[in-house]
A = this chain, B = another copy of it.
Amino acid sequence: MIYNEVRKDYLLDRWVVIATERGRRPTDFARREREKVKTGTCPMCPGNENMTPKAILVYLKKGNGIKKAEDKDDFRHKNWLIRCVPNLFPAFTPPKKKIGKKQIMKSNDLVAAIGHHEVLVESPDHDEHPANARIPQLIHVINAYIDRLRELSARPYVQYVSIFRNHGTEAGASLSHAHSQMIATPFIPKTLEDELKASKKFMKENKECIFCNIIEKESNGPRLILKNSKFIVLAPYASVNPMEFWVIPKKHDATLLNLSQSEIKIFAETLKACLNGLKQIANDPPYNYGFHIALNKDAHQCYHWHLEVYPKLAIWAGFEKSTGMYINTVTPEAAAESLRRKISS
């Protein structure tokens, strides 16, 4: 093709120019200088538990295994492995009393921000990020995601739970201690609603889940990064971010609530391998990741959970912000090749 390509996302009506004219190679990003992180007392480090709101979930060491905190003393314990606390500046807050749908959905353009906003401290070790975490610790993190997801999604006013991670100040992490966040919302957010609609339409027309179809189409192609017994990792056809990749379970399921412990272990290993590859290629770049799931029962057949990882290697500027179109200077095929090589080396 003699012109740049403009590609559409698998599901969304979202278009991206793959602008190869700029000739960026994945390794070009290694030269970028990283923003320095502020130092000071870390409110997430062991011993500073009094600096955060009261914990909601705590995993404690118990012999070779873990124990979930149950009583006051457990929650006060400094010897924790995982700690989940309410966000000090929540975007969404729990209802003060029982609340009906009409009190939440105020009008066509106004909704009360009822829900939850939590911070999940991933390790007592300040720097134990997924790219270099011990696998048993990363398994705790994923189990904690699932524990919180199960509890939050059971609340009557919760329609969606976003589990996400910001890594590095440029990607919006205001604290450098390894942590994720969870936001429970009283409605299904726009992008997920759009994905649900597209996956329902695909199911109706093709009698097949669109993600199962993507797995099949991409599993031997130039955008494949990794595949193992349980997961496939690929650079999506219309990546809006340089070096973007998605981790998709081979088993069709709408949420991660039903993962077995062996699947969780493989997920941890897969995630670590890919994030470590990215870290090595692009000099520990800032990134965001977010789980895409469906909680509503009518979506179980057509929706397929996955994790999207967005390295922050470009800036969305006036064009992107005012048109909703994107420009990506690294082809997904080059991103996949580079990650594939690094992971297998």
Whether a CB of chain B sits under 8 angstroms from the CB of A219 is no
Whether a CB of chain B sits under 8 angstroms from the CB of A90 is yes
Q: Is B170 within 8 A of A319, CB to CB?
A: no
In this complex, how many residues of chain A approach chain B with their Cβ under 8 Å: the count is 65
- What CA separation (Å) do A1 and B191 show in the bound complex? 27
Interface string of A160-195 (1 = CB under 8 A from B): 101011100011110000000101010001111010
Interface string of A91-120 (1 = CB under 8 A from B): 111001000000000001111111000000
Q: Is B319 within 8 A of A162, CB to CB?
A: yes
User: Which residues of chain B come closer than 8 Å to A288, judged between CB atoms?
Assistant: 317-318, 321-322
Whether a CB of chain B sits under 8 angstroms from the CB of A300 is no
Q: Give 11 CB contacts A-B under 8 Å.
A: A2-B96, A3-B112, A4-B92, A4-B112, A6-B110, A8-B108, A19-B91, A166-B318, A189-B324, A190-B324, A310-B322
- What is the chain B residue whose CB lies nearest that of A19? B91
- What is the chain B residue whose CB lies nearest that of A317? B172
A89 in complex: contacting residue of B8, B19, B160, B237, CB < 8 Å: B19
Q: Main secondary structure on chain A at its contact with chain B?
A: mixed
The oligomer's copy count stands at 2
- What CA separation (Å) do A91 and B325 show in the bound complex? 11
User: Which residues of chain B come closer than 8 Å to A316, judged between CB atoms?
Assistant: 172, 316
Q: Which residues of A contact B (CB under 8 A)?
A: 1-8, 13-15, 17, 19, 21-22, 89-93, 96, 108-114, 160, 162, 164-166, 170-173, 181, 183, 185, 189-192, 194, 237-238, 288-292, 308, 310, 315-319, 321-325, 327
Beyond the given A4-B93, A8-B109, A109-B238, could you list 19 further A-B residue pairs with CB under 8 A, ordered by the A residue number? A3-B93, A3-B114, A4-B91, A5-B111, A17-B91, A19-B89, A19-B113, A91-B327, A160-B323, A164-B317, A170-B315, A172-B318, A190-B324, A191-B325, A288-B318, A290-B321, A290-B322, A291-B322, A310-B318
Give min CB distance, A214 to chain B, whole Å: 12
- What CA separation (Å) do A65 and B8 show in the bound complex? 47
User: Which residues of chain B come closer than 8 Å to A91, judged between CB atoms?
Assistant: 4, 17, 19, 21, 319, 327
The 8 closest A-B pairs by CB, nearest first: A290-B322, A172-B317, A164-B318, A191-B324, A4-B113, A189-B323, A288-B318, A190-B324
